[in-house]
Amino acid sequence: MTLIQPVSETDLPAVAEIYAHYVTESVATFDETPLDVAAWRLKAAAIAEAGLPFLVAKEEGGRVLGFAYCGRYRPKPAYRHTVEDTIYLSPEATGRGLGRRLLGELIARTGESGARQMIAVIADGGDPASLKLHAAFGFAEAGRLKSVGFKHGRWIDTILYQLELP
């Protein structure tokens, strides 16, 4: 059985490892250098300070299979009620419904935070999984930014998806 729960300090090395895979092996993130555990510690603290959720999917034995969090969409004050979601699964954990469980819980907990809009900024790298996942929760396409990222020798679009929170 897999549990969805708030991230803890002991989860951060696994979070860093999962994310590092996507940094080095994909265009799912536009980071080009993996974040170390200290950077994840700062990110987790900032998310908690903002009153937003940072969740992990863990096996009963404690192994982290994926994570999801919301952060402020933009730093300007007028955006304070808009968040951006992030979800990553370890490569061996994909296709098991964990993304769906994480996103569902993330939406529920973010709605409780007072946020009104959730934005997904999805790199159009050819894999439709993230687009399908977000669409299944009612996210609607809000726009496309063409050739805004350059990674692994190619230009990448991002697709903006938006969900009004309850």
Domain extent listing, the chain: 2-164
Q: Which residues contact 69 (CB under 8 A, 6 or more apart)?
A: 7, 43, 44, 47, 52, 53, 54, 55, 85, 86, 106
**Are the CB atoms for 74 and 25 separated by under 8 Å?**
no
Whole-angstrom Cα distance, residue 115 to residue 82?
6
Average pLDDT, whole number, for the chain? 97
Instruction: Using the predicted structure, report yes or no on whether residue 24 has a pLDDT greater than 90.
Output: yes
Model confidence band, residue 110 (pLDDT cutoffs 50, 70, 90): very high
Residue 131 CA to residue 41 CA, distance in Å, equals 28
Minimal CA–CA distance to 40: which of 62, 64, 21, 13? Answer: 13
User: Is residue 126 scored above 90 in pLDDT?
Assistant: no
Helices (H), the chain: 12-25, 37-49, 98-111, 129-136
pLDDT at residue 136 in the model? 98
**pLDDT bucket at 60, cuts 50 / 70 / 90:** confident
Is the per-residue pLDDT at 6 higher than 90? yes
Angle (CA) 131 134 137, round 5°: 145
Q: What pTM, to 2 d.p., does this model score? A: 0.96
Q: For the CA atoms of the chain, what is the radius of gyration?
A: 15
Q: Which CATH superfamily is domain 2-164 in?
A: Gcn5-related N-acetyltransferase (GNAT) (3.40.630.30)
Q: Give mean pLDDT, residues 10-29.
A: 98
**Mean pLDDT confidence for 128-138:** 97
Reply yes or no on whether the pLDDT at 89 is more than 90: yes
- Which two structure tokens, joined as six digits, stand for 86? 């992030």
**So what's the pLDDT on residue 2?**
92
Q: What is the pLDDT of residue 105?
A: 97
The answer on pLDDT for 17 being more than 90 is: yes
| pLDDT of 166 above 90 | no
